[in-house]
Amino acid sequence: MTILQEIHAWSKDLAPWQQDAIARLYGDRTLSAGDLDDLYALAKTEAGIQDAEGRRPRRLEDAQVAPKADPVRHVVLGAIKELANVNALASEARLPIARTGMTVIYGENGAGKSGYSRVFKHACRARDRREPILPDANLEPGKCGPARAVFEADVDGVAIDLPWQDGAEPPAPLSDISIFDSHCARAYIDNQGDFAYAPYGLDILEGLVGACNKLKARALAEKGATAPSDAAYAVLAREQTEVAKKLLGIPARTKAEDIEALATLSEAEVARLELLTKTLAEADPKQKALALRQKASRLGDLKARATAAADAVSDERVISLQGLVQKSNLAKAAAELAAKEFRATPGQLPGTGGEEWKALFDAARMFSAASHAEHAFPGLPADAACPLCQNVLGEEGAARLLRFDAFIQAAAEKAAKEAHYAAAAPFLAIKQANLDLMFRDALVEELTEIAPAVAEACAVLQEVLKARQQAVVQSAAGKQGWDALPKFSVDPQPGLMGVVDGLLSQANALDATADEKLRAAMVAERAELDARRRLGEVKVAVLEAMTKHEYCRKLQACIDGMETRGISRKSTELSRTTASQELADALNEELKLLKVHHLRVVMKPESPGGRTQFKLTLQLPGGGAPAAILSEGEQRAIAIASFMAEIRLGKGRGGIVLDDPVSSLDHRRRWEVAERLAEESLTRQVIVFTHDIYFLLILEQKAQEVGADLTKNYIRRTARGYGVHSEDLPFDVLGTKDRLGRLRQMLVIVRKAAKEGDEEAQRQLTAKCYGHLRLAWERCIEEVLLNGAVQRFGEGVATLRLKGVTVTDNDYSEIYAGMTKCSKFEHDAAAAVGRLPVPVPVELSDDIERLAKWRDLLDKRVKDVAKARG
């Protein structure tokens, strides 16, 4: 299991925010300010502090971690092809890779090298993958799928295509390919600018410790800024009350609902507090109690009068009377109708059947009881005297009495009387009711002082009572409708009852103050209620303090979770398992190969704060920090040495890929890097991306010296897109022989322009051709005439190559003539001279072949001279 795999397995038991930090460090090796903000929010979320942005932790997936290189498996790449959605690389492009030796992929800046490099880093699960693979900007957003490519490979001698897609688990064999680029180099320089050698993966733990320390400092600062204050309730907390107990229970035992309940007083409790305050402040409680009871008695009588008066003209009584009156009126109307019919009998005096007549007849009935005691009225015999006129009745008179009595006893008349009598009693009860509340003068003033609203209600009630009484009389007499009765408004009786009860409670409380035990209880009760009242005044501050206490408790949980001891122990454990002399020897050997002789690595087994186990110590008098002594180029050389040491100790057989490995290196050290890569290409596949023509030439020379195969590929930008592979290398990197071949190809184009009569195109192409021909003469002098003994930007003079070198007068003449003619067309002519005539294609061809013939003669002569000189 690799260190990264061990860290990944170990991290699964960490807090989710720390797993997120490891995922970020794995992808970028550094944490930005935005990353730290995210991690801080995630850590607080885990402690119960809600994140307004709703961030969720991410984890490092198993598929993202490259497995350990297989020491038995042999993976060789042949090409990368079928690229899609990779930056602006041409779709379906194919980049060949030599299966043996070194493949150098040259391209100018902006040619597409970075796109290929990013595919290699993501597919081969490189150490640093912070640069994302961007979709093709020429396509509409949302229409680009994930980046993908296919690697042609030989795995243990079997040809196979390895498809890769961004976001999916890469094919396992690609993990055997190791990647180095400028970002990887920086990963070997620690945060203090000192060079620190960390076996692959340990820097993640260092980054995690750094993140924990930064977040811990932030949490401590926030906790200090959020510290709660008890100044608002400190006095309350020192009293002997239930409120004080709850306040002293903050933050461990007391809850917000406890404070809410205590700080809220009901109306009854507020009244009780006022009562206790007044009672306990009274100097002569007995006399005060007597006065209160007398006042309560007076107001109680007022309530009784109000109750009786309101009952006398209550809605129930009025409604009942209304019904009786209506019934009496109906019965009276029916009786009047019957009387009308009775009066219509012939021979009767006017007014018969009327009220006066009825009174007269009733008087006769009463007189008959005395004058005709032996007979029941009106059944008198015909010979009896009439009780009215005292004449003999006769048959007709006796019959008339019977007829009159029958009329009186008829149902209508009887009902009318009964209805009249039924309505008369309640009517008189209302009409004659005493509705005076006697609410005047001192009583009004007394009640107004205690309860102004109740006093006002009593005054209104008095007016309503009188108005209702008058309205009932008017309505019963038929002078107005019953709907005109005034309505009762506010009933003062409940208020009066409350006032009376309150006065009696005060009186009882005053009486109780005479008892020391009862008084002490009242004092304690008042203290509790007053404390609750005052708690209500500072409730907001108390709840805010409780909120801050809870927030600080959660922050403390965050702080506790940011301890680094466990991470340091894991770093120490991993460091101990990887620390070996073999590791130190491998790095020192690589430093020697890169000619960094003045540096040696001393492996110090330590893990302060989770930092890396080993640091580079300079073996220089006086010591000093590496960042202050090493140049940027030396630091890059050290990074390459570290990379090569890891590859050597990894025991894997897979190839290596380097993206611009000599950036920041001086020209001398480039030769050491080129030589090291050439030697490495003898044992494994080496792939180098570069935009540096000079470095390409150095690689070519070093590969020749060590006998390694070197394949040069050229990628460029075309109409199809970026990163298009071309068999034709730039003219600058070609040798003399290849340059002559390229000149002959250019000659074909010149001849075509001449044939088509395009004189301007012919002139431009011919001038360009002569410019390239001049470069070919220069390269021939360096490469053939001087036999490579002296090379531009070379690391030295190859004196042994002088063995085959001779320079004749003819050589001078040929060079002078060829270079002079080429210069005519390369440089700007004077205005007086005018434009030079364009040489015909035959003349250009002759000039090209003149160089070719001279080269062939030189090549043969160099070999002959070297042979003759032994």
Residue type, 266: S
Q: Name the band, by pLDDT with cuts 50, 70 and 90, for residue 869.
A: confident
List pLDDT tens digits, range 148-165.
Answer: 999 999 999 999 999 999
Confidence of residue 534 (pLDDT cuts 50, 70, 90): very high
CA distance 594 to 671: 9
The residues, any chain, with a CB within 8 Å of residue 399's CB and separated by 6 or more, are: none
pLDDT in tens, 197-254: 556 677 788 889 999 999 999 999 999 999 998 888 899 989 899 999 999 999 889 9
Distance of CA 619 to the CA centre of its chain: 52
What CA–CA distances, in Å, run from 769 to 735, 750, 751, 844? 16, 9, 12, 8
Which pLDDT band holds residue 5 (cuts at 50, 70, 90)? Answer: confident
The residue whose two tokens read 């509340």 is 437
pLDDT tens for residues 397-429? 877 777 777 776 664 566 667 777 777 778 887
- The mean-pLDDT minimum among 205-214, 451-460, 734-743, 781-790 falls in 781-790
Q: Categorize the per-residue pLDDT at 545 as very low, low, confident or very high, splitting at 50, 70 and 90.
A: very high
> Biggest alpha carbon distance in the chain?
204
Q: How many CB atoms lie within 10 A of CB 592?
A: 14
On whether the CB atoms of residues 105 and 94 are closer than 8 A, the answer is no
- 686 with 102: CB under 8 angstroms? yes
Whether residue 575 is predicted with pLDDT greater than 90 in this model: the reply is no
What amino acid is encoded at 25 in this protein?
L
Q: Residue 64: which residues within 8 A CB-CB, separation 6 or more? A: 23, 26, 125
Which residues on adjacent β-strands are paired with residue 658? 180, 688
Mean pLDDT score of the chain: 81
DSSP structure class, residue 783: I
- Render 138-200 in DSSP notation, one character per residue: TSPTTS----EEEEEEEETTEEEEEEEETTSPPPGGGGGSEEE-HHHHHTTB-TTS-B----T
**377 pLDDT tier (thresholds 50, 70, 90):** confident
pLDDT digits (tens, 9 = 90+) for 800-820: 778 888 889 998 888 998 888
- This prediction's pTM: 0.57
pLDDT tens digits for 92-126?
778 999 999 999 998 888 788 888 888 898 888 77
Split at pLDDT 50, 70, 90, the class of 342 is low
pLDDT digits (tens, 9 = 90+) for 597-617: 667 766 655 555 555 445 444
The alpha-helical segments, DSSP class H, found in 249-314 are 256-263, 267-281, 285-312
Token pair 């063995």: residue: 803
**What does the CA dihedral 527, 533, 536, 542 come to, rounded to 10 degrees?**
-20
Residues 301 and 310: their CA atoms lie apart, in Å, by 14
Q: How many Å apart are CA 87 and CA 107, to the nearest integer?
A: 16
Which has the closest alpha carbon to 242: 530, 565, 598? 530
Q: Which amino acid is at 805?
A: V
* Per-residue pLDDT at 174 exceeds 80: yes
What is d(CA 517, CA 304) in angstroms, rounded to the nearest whole number? 37
Mean pLDDT of 748-760: 90
Helices (H), 513-579: 516-537, 539-560, 565-578
Q: How far is it, in rounded angstroms, from Cα 295 to Cα 377?
A: 65
Comparing 651 with 237, the larger pLDDT belongs to 237
Q: What angle do CA 129, 562, 610 make, to 5 degrees?
A: 60
pLDDT tens per residue across span 249-297: 998 899 999 999 999 999 999 988 888 888 777 766 777 777 778 888 8
Q: Do residues 17 and 199 make contact, with C-beta atoms less than 8 angstroms apart?
A: no
Based on its alpha-carbon atoms, the radius of gyration of the chain, rounded to whole angstroms, reads 60
pLDDT in tens, 788-802: 777 765 666 767 778
| For range 666-694, the mean pLDDT | 87
pLDDT of residue 360: 80
Supply the DSSP symbol for 838.
P
What are the counts of helices (DSSP H) followed by strands (DSSP E) for the chain?
30, 12
pLDDT at 727 over 70: yes
- The total number of residues shown for the chain amounts to 870
Residue 504: Cβ-neighbour burial (10 angstroms; 0-12, 13-18, 19+): middle
Q: Taking a C-beta distance cutoff of 8 angstroms, is the pair 208, 39 a contact?
A: no
Torsion angle defined by CA atoms of residues 169, 175, 178 and 182, in that order, rounded to the nearest 10 degrees: 10
Place of tokens 């019977």: 402
Would you report the helix, strand and coil content of the chain in percent, each value rounded to 5?
60, 10, 30
Secondary structure of 796-832 in HEC code, one letter for each residue: CECHHHHHHCCCCHHHHHHHHHHHHHHHHHHCCCCCC
CA dihedral 196, 199, 202, 206 (to 10 degrees): 0
Reported as type and span, the H/E element at residue 744 is helix 736-755
Burial of 647 (0-12, 13-18, 19+ CB in 10 A): buried
Q: Which of 273-287, 474-488, 595-609, 707-721 has the highest mean pLDDT?
A: 707-721
Compute the average pLDDT of residues 763-781. Answer: 90
Comparing 604 with 131, the larger pLDDT belongs to 131
- In this structure, what token pair is assigned to residue 170? 């890469």
Residue 18 identity: Q
Q: Token pair of 211, please?
A: 């993140």
Domains and CATH numbers, the chain: 72-177+655-727 (3.40.50.300), 234-282+513-537 (no CATH), 285-313+433-506 (no CATH), 320-429 (no CATH), 734-868 (1.20.120)
